[in-house]
Structures are given as structure tokens and as C-alpha cells.
Amino acid sequence: MAQKITVAMGDGIGPEVMEATLAVFRAARVPLEYELVPMGRRVAEAGEPSGITTDARASVERTGILFKGPMETPKGGGYKSVNVTARKLWGTFANKRVYRKLRGVPLPIEIRGDLHLTMVRENIEDTYGAVEHMQTHDVAQCRRFITRPGSEQVHRYTFEMAARKGARRVTCAHKANIMKMTDGLFLQAFYDVAKDYPHLRADDVIVDALAMRLVLDPTEFDVIVLPNLQGDILTDLAAGLVGGLAYAPSANIGDGICIFEAVHGTAPDIVGRNLANPTALLLSGTMMLRHLGLERHAAAIESALERTLDKMHTRPDLGQPFPVFQTSRFVELMQEALAETPAIEGEPSKPLVPLRQDPKMLVTPTPERNHLLGVDVFLESGLAPRAVAELLAPLEDDGLKLTMISNRGTQVWPTGSAHTDCVNHYRARFESTRPVEQRALIALLGRVADVFPLCSSEWLREIGGMRGYSLAQGQG
Ligand code: NAI
């Protein structure tokens, strides 16, 4: 029986590009069977907010592979992104995106030399948890989680992949100069993992500088690993360099399940007009074929693709860029090109989906000297900083002293500037010089709640002898 994979057509141009891709797979006699499952907007609107039916979930967990078209996400409200849910639900911690110059594809900026750029975006953590709360009627908050085991997982995958592809250099992009705890942890995990790969050059770059350097000379880089949101933005920049989103494929890699999809979205502006370019999904498909051990089928399709794109983008008579991309013409040219290819041998290797009763726990050993030193209390007040401090000062006790008040991350008490504009959301820091009990902090929260509406709180910890919380801007 042929190897099965799960296929979801997606929304918008999804069915157009997926049908085109599967037609090319048929022309290349790819030895796979497809379990088609409903997933995306219609499922979400029919009352399953995840956008994934129970049957679709069971199919993916059985086959281990989801090949999907893009899915629509409403902005500013409505159901959550089905794409992000799928990546997180099935633990696909690394999003690999490959960038090459394709013959016949016009580039916005000339790239001199060969481009062999691979970017790996962490796929689970960061602001993509979308753990968001209104703190006051004026203040929204999104929590950003970066974890040591999650970072180690994506870095190890990146180094393994770089070693396999014969890369020389692996670069970690980050903003650890500003987000010293979160991006600092991502960066530290990178260099910890790098020690196991001494033959690969490991270095790092601040993400804004990376944006400029990619535009100036993307051939400088080999493999780049980034946190989720920064990776989202910078990988689209790289897609622009190689001709646009229509040429950017991606693979979401996990320990058991992998998801293959184009980087682009549902392209609502061109749905049903025969204008959708299937190249990105087709290249995601060839990444999937390689993952399944179908190297020769992947290579034959890529070779046919180069010949096809050459013809698509150039008027045969004038040698000028072809004015309009036509999906149907693309499929015909691909079928013609593949008809010239001799039959390809090869069977897929079955992906191993580990049988699990419970999620895998990713936990590293707890360091010694791990204790509480205080609490940051976030509270609502429209009073000026000095008035807030006067109301909070009597709530101190023997151990816990009010050491700082900040507004939007900038210290406004005991020192500050009258030019620091404030909103109705303060952070009051109560600190002790020696370890405190959790119940003392809870009692303090109760006392603050008698005076101000509480928005949230964060314990201040010392972990492994290190301060586990940041200073306010202007503090210390
Ligand atoms: P988009 O990628 O759908 O479109 C951006 C521009 O690129 C549009 O002008 C579109 O026509 C063009 N384009 C994209 N793919 C193309 C293709 N294959 N051929 C020709 N032109 C193409 O991004 P947008 O408009 O921001 O998002 C639309 C929807 O897609 C949103 O609901 C968004 O949440 C969703 N989306 C889904 C993704 C996924 O399923 N992985 C990824 C990105 C967005």
C-alpha cells in the first residue's frame, strides 16, 4: 500500500495552488496517497474554533505529515490562526525556509554570486503564544515566553541540519541587547549547543543589523536561526530578495509530525483569477519529498520548475518579462517538462510518529539558590507617580521595601523626569535583601489591592545566584 500523507487545501488561493501542486506530483509519478481533510476558515466558522476537525487531527497524527495550503486568519478579533495552532499543537518547533535564486525569476535587487541561504525560525514560543490581556481600558499586554529547552531544541535542529547540508557558518539573530532575559536566554542556549559542533563557525547578529546586511549582501550568510516574531519578519524580507512570497517554501519540523506549507497567505486579492503562483507550495512539496526520502522525485520536479519558470517569465518572442502569471499555463508547462523525464524509481520512507499518551515534558535540572526576593505589582491608577508612591509606602513591611515605580518600563519614582509621559498602569517593585516566602508576597498583594485595582503581578526571583528580573529604564 502506498505511503499516505494528510492534505488540507486551505482557504483563498489554497485550493488553486494545492491542485496545481498535486497535478505536478501526479505528472512526476510521486508514489504517495493523499488523505484530504477539511481545515481552516470553514471549519472555524462551522463552530470548531481551532479550525481543525477531530478527524483531521487523527489523520495528521496517523500519517505524521501535513501538506497544507494557506489558511485565513481574521485580524484584531475572531478565531485564532489555524496555521499557528497547527504548528504549536503538533510541536513543530523549527520552521525551515530556504532561499535560492531561481532561473527566470526577476529579482528586485541584483544578488551577486550564489545564494544558499537557509533560515530557521523558532516556531512555538515568543509572542506567538498570543497570551494577551487588557490590563486597564488603556493598556494591552502580550506576554513573551522564551524557554531554555525550547531554544535548545530549535538550535540543535539548526546545527544538525547545517552539518548535514555542509554549511560552514551558523548565525543566531536576536535583540539580546534590549531584551536581556528573553533573547539573552535564546542566545545563551545557541552558544551552549554550538559547543557540540566545533567544526561549524557560530556567531550572532542583532536583528536590525541583519535586516540591513541581508539587503546589502545575503550571500554573506549560510544558516540563520531566529526567535519566532523576528524570524517571521526577516524571513519575509529574505523572500522579497528572491522574487517575492510566491518563491518562498517552508517546512515545519517536529520530533514526530512535520508540516509543509508555502510562506505566503491566502492572497484574497487574486482568488479564482488563475493568477496564483504555485511555486512556493511546490517547493515546500519538494522539501517534503526529500524528508520522505524521495530525493530523485524532488530533483526532477525542481529541474522541470527551473525550465518552466524560465518560459513563464519571459516572452519567447521579445525576451521581456511575461506580463501575467497564469496558474493553468504553469501546470501545463510543468506537465510537459516532466513528460520528458524518464520514470523515477524510489519508495518513500514512512515517517515515525511516536505513540504518546501524554505530552513530552521539556525540563532542565533546577539550579541551586533558587528563591524569591520580592514582587512587581502592576496596578491601575490615574494619579501622578509621587501620589502613587505615597499611597504605597505604608504597605511596606520589615523585609519588603518599595524600591521603584515604573510606567511603560521607565522608572518614574524615586527618581524620574517630568517629561516621562505616564499611562494609567504602574509597576511598583517591592524588594527584599534576603529570601522571602510566597505567602508574605501574597499578603502584600492583598494590602495593595485594598488601595488600588491590581492588574497583574510577577515574582522577583534569584535563580542560580543570578537576578532573574530586569531593571527599569533609568534604574540602577
Ligand atoms: P498574502 O501572502 O496572502 O498576500 C500578500 C500579497 O502577495 C498579495 O498581493 C497576494 O496577491 C500576493 N501573493 C501571495 N501569494 C501569492 C501567490 N502564490 N501567487 C501570486 N501572488 C501571491 O498575505 P496577506 O494579504 O497579508 O494575508 C492574507 C491572509 O492570509 C490573512 O488572513 C493571513 O492571516 C493569511 N496568511 C496565512 C498564512 C499561512 O497560511 N501560512 C501565512 C500568511 C498569511
User: Please, which pLDDT band fits residue 323 given cuts at 50, 70 and 90?
Assistant: low
Residue with CA at minimum distance from ligand 1 atom 41: 70
Count CB atoms within 10 A of the CB of residue 228: 23
Residue 101: C-alpha distances to residues 108, 175, 239, 246, 371 (Å): 12, 29, 10, 13, 53
pLDDT tens-digit profile of 54-78?
A: 999 999 999 999 999 999 988 877 7
| Distance from Cα 468 to the centre of ligand 1, integer Å | 40
CA 294, 297, 300, 304 torsion: positive or negative? negative
Does 314 lie in the same domain as 376?
Answer: no
- Residue whose CB lies within 8 A of the most ligand 1 atoms, among 259, 263, 264, 282, for a mutation test: 264
Count CB atoms within 10 A of the CB of residue 292: 24
Does 381 lie in the same domain as 443?
Answer: yes
Residue type, 37: V
| Distance from Cα 18 to the centre of ligand 1, integer Å | 14
User: Please, which pLDDT band fits residue 322 given cuts at 50, 70 and 90?
Assistant: low
Contact assessment for residue 334 and residue 27, using Cβ atoms and an 8 Å cutoff: yes
Residue 163 lies in a domain: no
Contact assessment for residue 407 and residue 422, using Cβ atoms and an 8 Å cutoff: yes
| Distance from Cα 323 to the centre of ligand 1, integer Å | 20
CA 242, 39, 25, 291 torsion: positive or negative? positive
Does 406 lie in the same domain as 349?
Answer: no
Residue 97 lies in a domain: no
pLDDT tens-digit profile of 362-386?
A: 999 888 889 999 999 999 999 999 9
- Residue 312's pLDDT is 79
pLDDT tens-digit profile of 106-149?
A: 898 999 888 989 999 999 999 988 899 999 999 999 999 999 99
User: What is the SS3 assignment for 300?
Assistant: helix
Instruction: Judge if the beta carbon of residue 72 lies within 6 A of ligand 1.
Output: yes
Residue 456 lies in a domain: yes
Mean pLDDT of the chain: 93
Give the CB-side neighbour count of residue 436, counting CA atoms within 13 A: 23
Residue 267 CA: which ligand 1 atom is closest? Answer: 3
pLDDT over threshold 90, residue 282: yes
Residue 130 lies in a domain: no
Count CB atoms within 10 A of the CB of residue 42: 12
Does 424 lie in the same domain as 340?
Answer: no
- Residue 314's pLDDT is 60
Does 463 lie in the same domain as 390?
Answer: yes
The structural domain count of the chain equals 2
Residue 264 lies in a domain: no
Does 463 lie in the same domain as 374?
Answer: yes
Instruction: Judge if the beta carbon of residue 183 lies within 6 A of ligand 1.
Output: no
- Residue 81's pLDDT is 86
The bridge status of strand 425-436 relative to strand 401-407 is antiparallel
**Alpha helices of 195-294 — where are they, by DSSP H?**
207-216, 228-241, 279-291
d(CA 156, CA 190): 8
Question: Beta strands of 246-315 (E only): which ranges?
Answer: 249-253, 258-262
Does 86 lie in the same domain as 23?
Answer: yes
d(CA 238, CA 240): 5
- Residue 94's pLDDT is 98
User: What is the SS3 assignment for 77?
Assistant: coil
| Distance from Cα 279 to the centre of ligand 1, integer Å | 14
Does 429 lie in the same domain as 351?
Answer: no
Instruction: Judge if the beta carbon of residue 15 lies within 6 A of ligand 1.
Output: no
Instruction: Judge if the beta carbon of residue 265 lies within 6 A of ligand 1.
Output: yes
Does 377 lie in the same domain as 351?
Answer: no
pLDDT tens-digit profile of 378-427?
A: 999 999 999 999 999 999 997 999 999 999 999 999 999 999 999 999 99
Compute φ and ψ for 204, nearest 5 degrees.
-135, 160
Does 61 lie in the same domain as 29?
Answer: yes
pLDDT over threshold 70, residue 152: yes
By residue range, what is the domain housing residue 394? Answer: 370-467
Residue 389 lies in a domain: yes
Compute φ and ψ for 164, nearest 5 degrees.
-65, -40
Residue 234 lies in a domain: no
pLDDT over threshold 80, residue 8: yes
| Distance from Cα 268 to the centre of ligand 1, integer Å | 7
Question: Beta strands of 115-235 (E only): which ranges?
Answer: 117-122, 126-136, 139-145, 169-174, 201-206, 223-226
Closest to 235 in 3D by CA, of 246, 220, 224? 224
- Residue 23's pLDDT is 98
pLDDT over threshold 60, residue 317: no
Q: How many residues does the chain have?
A: 476
Residue with CA at minimum distance from ligand 1 atom 27: 265
d(CA 247, CA 240): 9
CA 322, 323, 329, 330 torsion: positive or negative? positive
Q: Would you state the cell numbers that stand for residue 125, as one nine-digit string?
A: 514560543
Residue 144, C-beta contacts closer than 8 angstroms, at least 6 positions apart: 126, 127, 129, 179, 182
Does 417 lie in the same domain as 338?
Answer: no
Host H or E run for residue 455: strand 454-463
| Distance from Cα 72 to the centre of ligand 1, integer Å | 9
| Distance from Cα 248 to the centre of ligand 1, integer Å | 12
Closest to 230 in 3D by CA, of 157, 133, 128? 128
- Residue 352's pLDDT is 81
Residue 8 lies in a domain: yes
pLDDT tens-digit profile of 10-53?
A: 999 999 999 999 999 999 999 999 999 999 999 999 989 889 99
Count CB atoms within 10 A of the CB of residue 116: 17
Does 377 lie in the same domain as 344?
Answer: no
Work out the average pLDDT over 200-209: 98
User: Please, which pLDDT band fits residue 432 given cuts at 50, 70 and 90?
Assistant: very high
Residue with CA at minimum distance from ligand 1 atom 6: 267
| Distance from Cα 117 to the centre of ligand 1, integer Å | 22
- Residue 1's pLDDT is 65
Question: In whole angstroms, what separates CA 337 from the centre of its chain?
Answer: 35
Q: Would you state the cell numbers that stand for residue 436, as one nine-digit string?
A: 522571602
What is the percent of the chain with per-residue pLDDT over 90, rounded to a whole number? Answer: 81
Instruction: Judge if the beta carbon of residue 277 lies within 6 A of ligand 1.
Output: yes
Work out the average pLDDT over 168-192: 97
